[in-house]
Amino acid sequence: MSPTLEEIAGALDVSKGRVHQLIGQLVAEGRLERRPGAQRRLVVRDVAASREVLSEVLNRLGWNFNDHPPPAPTPYPHVQLPRLPTLRYLPDPDSPGEAA
């Protein structure tokens, strides 16, 4: 489900008319498709190309966008953690409110 024209206009800080123009341009370029009959009917045609454009925009804005992060380390669920020694609480006899 695509965002409403109002949501797009608010996110881009432009008028709804400008959103119509931009959507028309993206449809003409083949990047978006309008699906008839649905309220929110915009569909991205080429997701891979859209990811490239998004990556470029984020880089220009100063964000580091890593499309291929390194694999996460494998967890070791079968290794037992070492036991910690039991701590004993020894009240401070000089502290007010401490019972000896």
Do the Cβ atoms of 4 and 41 come closer than 8 Å?
Answer: no
Percent of the chain with pLDDT over 90: 6
Q: Domain of 56: which CATH number?
A: 1.10.10
When divided into structural domains, the chain yields a total of 1
Task: Report H helices in 13-93.
Answer: 16-28, 47-60
44 inside domain: yes
User: Terminus-to-terminus CA distance in the chain, angstroms?
Assistant: 68
Give residue-wise pLDDT tens across range 69-90.
Answer: 788 887 777 777 778 888 888 7
pTM listed for this prediction: 0.48
Domain with 27, as residue range(s), is 5-60
Query: What mean pLDDT is reported for the chain?
Result: 80
35 inside domain: yes
Element (H, E) at 7: helix 5-12
Residue 21 has pLDDT above 70, yes or no: yes
84 inside domain: no
Query: 38 pLDDT band (50/70/90 cuts)?
Result: low
Residue 48 has pLDDT above 60, yes or no: yes
